[in-house]
Amino acid sequence: MDKILLMVQLQAQLNDATNGEKWTEGITKNGKTINWKRCIYMECAEMVDSFSWKHWKSIDKEPDWANHQIEVVDVWHFIISLGLENYAQNFKGGVEELSLHLSELPAFSSLDTKESSFASQDEVIAKVEELIRLAIIKESLDLDTMVNTFFELVVMSGLNLESLYRLYVGKNILNQFRQDHGYKDGSYIKVWNGEEDNVVMKRIWEANGDIKPEVLYSELEKAYSAL
Q: Give 54-99 as a DSSP string.
A: -TTS-TTPPP-HHHHHHHHHHHHHHHHHHHHHHHHHTT---HHHHH
Task: Assess if residue 30 is contained within a domain.
Answer: yes
Task: Assess if residue 196 is contained within a domain.
Answer: no
- Tens of pLDDT, residue by residue over 98-128, are 999 999 999 999 998 877 789 999 999 999 9
**Between 140 and 102, whose confidence is greater?**
102
Task: Assess if residue 106 is contained within a domain.
Answer: yes
Domain tally, the chain: 1
- Tens of pLDDT, residue by residue over 181-222, are 988 889 999 999 998 898 888 888 888 767 788 888 999 999
- Nearest residue to 163 (alpha-carbon basis) of 194, 206, 196: 206
Rounded Cα–Cα distance for residues 195 and 198 (Å):
8
- Tens of pLDDT, residue by residue over 30-70, are 999 999 999 999 999 999 999 988 999 988 889 999 889 99
**Residue 17: which CATH number?**
1.10.4010.10
Task: Assess if residue 83 is contained within a domain.
Answer: yes
Q: Tell me the residue range of the domain where 34 lies.
A: 2-188
Task: Assess if residue 60 is contained within a domain.
Answer: yes
Task: Assess if residue 216 is contained within a domain.
Answer: no
User: 191 - beta bridge partners?
Assistant: 196
Q: CB of 105 within 8 A of CB of 147?
A: yes
